[in-house]
Structure 1
Amino acid sequence: MPDIVINADALQSFVFSLWRHAGSTEHEAALVAEHLVMSNLTGHDSHGIGMIPRYVAALSEGGLRLNQTVSVVKDAGALLTLDGLRGFGQSTAWQAMKLGIERAKDSGVCVVALRNTHHLGRLGHWAEQCAAEGMASFHFVNVAGHTQVAPWSGTDGRFGTNPFSAAWPRPGKPPLVLDFATSSIAVGKVRVARNKGQSVPEGCLIDHTGAPTTDPSTLTQSPFGALLPFGQHKGFGLAVMCEIFAGALTGGYTTHADTRPTTSAIINGLFSVIIAPEAMDAPDAQQQADAFLQWVKESPPAPGQHIYEPGEPERLCRQARLDQGIPVDVATWGQIQQAASKLGFPESGLPQVREA
């Protein structure tokens, strides 16, 4: 069936109203709505409104708690350890980055450890929050207890998709933003492929025997297969470091036999380093960064190809979807409608949709 298309503003208004109906404050509902819709706008449908059914299930089971203020576990000036109290990651991470940015402006740098937070969503969103305040940053996340990704040379899932992100601010220009899962593709992209009745690209999945497959149901029904790490041993190594930094060093927990999840909740740890570039003894930093990017982009592109800087594809997608609307597959939209109904949200509050 063809996708439906929804206007971005109408979709954001719906998501805001949904979480207000569920009990979120205006501020929390606005943060969640902005984050989820921005994920769709930038082409990361895996972390967009398709997460709503999972969030509703986690809320009903008690694994997601609304309206949480992060708890300060340790305050050592340029080092903050925070507990998200299983609150909305779209709110707790916003709070954590706000605190970290303020400290980095004063001290030049701030290391922020956020543990025990519900799903953080698109990790690049938090790097962008830092860049908007002139901060450079990098971020590690673990998906505590989840086992959708096999280790390099392994045949079953042992850890989550453990994303990494970094951003470099550029005065007067869009920031450079790098954001990727350390798995071959994100779990949410497998969900989207399943809902659309599509296969995933070759080299992304293995079945329960360790054999290659392109069937997305391998990850969603027993006997379970697993995603592969991106970049073979390199992606695996980075995933391990994300697990240790975000799961162990934050004071949260890592994935092992005793931490397997029993509910729909997605619990993340976030380890962030936020840096004020002007605090470094590097007066030519922006000039050097620009010179490097110009040098790279002057490489003759392969036939029919374009050299994109980090974050550029997302910007182009955002503009196109603002102009044309956000495409949503019919299966995902049906799941969202069912989730809204479970919350008692009125059908009259759903946005208008049209066929793609």
Structure 2
Amino acid sequence: MQPGDVRIPAAELTTFAAAALEKAGAKRPHAQAVADHLVASNLAGHDSHGIGLLPAYLKHSREGLVDVNAEPETVHSAGAIVKLDGHDAWGRVAGEAAMKAAFPKADELGLCAVTLSNSHHLGRIGTYGEMAAQEGFAALFFVNVTDHDPMVAPYGGTDSRLGTNPVCIALPPTGTKPAFLLDMATSRIAMGKARVAANKGLRVPFGSIIDSNGLPTDDPSGFKGFEQKGALAPFGDHKGYGLAFAAELLAGVFSGGGTIQPGNERRGGIRNQMMAIVLSPDAFGDPAAMEREMDAMWDYALASPPADWDSPVIAPGDPERALKKRRSAEGVPLDPETLKQLNDAAKAAGIKRQLG
């Protein structure tokens, strides 16, 4: 938490966001689902995908970049494959629909490959991984983004040509261990993290951003207020670049929703495509033996002597669980700039209530 930040209870943020979204035309159940999704991201520590996105969502609703009345539709279902078209519906609504379409097939056939095209911003992809894990499934997710200019430079390049293209892998909990959750952008930092840092006047790791002249920098000011001057760098150099490229192709091509190449429309919105592979562990062997092996591997990895004894080795998913517990009790921290953006956006939408 930085000087000047304020903590606001999650319930207050959710009520505020839902009211603004409903005022902007969202159906009440959709407004509530999207608001819950945004604030849940804050609770998990992913402020880049949290309520700070509400001004952009409200702007998209005004400009017709999200269809506030749309419902996702299953357009193809054969064997272990199911394809959905989001029809520009709210991402949280479309993402949940994709998961609900995949689960019965994975349960019956052992696995399901589900694609989703033309969805508004899906938000934190880890949410859908958590959905799968809670239902006892493992899942892999590959996501790309279209409808706006690219944000990430290819390895060795000096301008943006890709999206942040998140990848997520989730495995269900065992009898003694929580769910495994790896959820990451394929850029060194997410676009939202650059925006949050810019709003707070903070620096980012050097080289995670390329400035408008194509040079590495630690100054995120070009990303303040949903602007973009410069590009994000891929994580892990050529490795992250390759993974981002793979997510672009798997999500954009297999879904039919398209990739970020300029032959596809760029209206200035956020449109996601997704490829998810949902697996039923029961179809792959003895569930009890699999759980024992997972527990043993978990214990072995976390028993490594820590480099810093004040920071023990943890498992993917542990930071989110810890922050959720703390922020649920103490409130969600918001910096003054984000708070101002939220209040200004809500006021423009016709909401008199102000945060802070």
Report which stretch shifted further, 117-126 or 104-113: 104-113
Counterpart of 1:249 in 2: which secondary structure? helix
Aligned to 1:256: 261
In 2, Cα distance between equivalents of 1:254 and 1:119: 15
Aligned to 2:179: 175
Report which stretch shifted further, 219-228 or 187-196: 219-228
Report the CA distance between 1:23 and its aligned residue.
Answer: 2.6
Aligned to 2:328: 322
CA deviation string 1:49-103 (max 9, x = no partner): 0000111111111011113221221111321111000110011101111111122
Query: 1:73-88 alignment to 2 at 5 Å?
Result: 73-88=75-90
In 1, Cα distance between equivalents of 2:33 and 2:97: 11
Aligned to 1:139: 141
Q: Give yes or no for contact 2:27–2:69 (8 Å, CA) kept in 1.
A: yes
Q: Give yes or no for contact 1:203–1:212 (8 Å, CA) kept in 2.
A: yes
Out of 49, 54, 72, the residue aligned to residue 52 of structure 1 is 54
The answer to whether 1:243 aligns with 2:248 is yes
Counterpart of 2:178 in 1: which secondary structure? strand
Query: 1:172-321 alignment to 2 at 5 Å?
Result: 172=175, 173-219=177-223, 224-259=229-264, 261-263=266-268, 265-283=269-287, 284-303=289-308, 304-321=310-327
In 2, Cα distance between equivalents of 1:218 and 1:24: 31
CA deviation string 1:329-356 (max 9, x = no partner): 1111111111112211222xx45x3xxx
Counterpart of 2:4 in 1: which secondary structure? coil
In 1, Cα distance between equivalents of 2:277 and 2:208: 30
Aligned to 2:4: 2
CA deviation string 1:259-308 (max 9, x = no partner): 36232x10110100011111112442111111111111111111233211
Aligned to 2:112: 110
Q: Give yes or no for contact 2:24–2:349 (8 Å, CA) kept in 1.
A: yes
Aligned to 1:341: 347
In 2, Cα distance between equivalents of 1:300 and 1:171: 24
Paired residue type of 1:336 = L
Q: Kindly tell me the number of residue pairs found equivalent between the two proteins.
A: 349
TM (norm. structure 2) is: 0.94
Runs of at least 5 residues in structure 2 that lack an aligned partner in the other structure: none
CA 1:223 to 1:109, structure 2 compared with 1: closer, same or farther past 3 Å?
Answer: closer
CA 1:308 to 1:67, structure 2 compared with 1: closer, same or farther past 3 Å?
Answer: farther
Q: Give yes or no for contact 1:191–1:216 (8 Å, CA) kept in 2.
A: yes
Q: Give yes or no for contact 2:204–2:218 (8 Å, CA) kept in 1.
A: yes
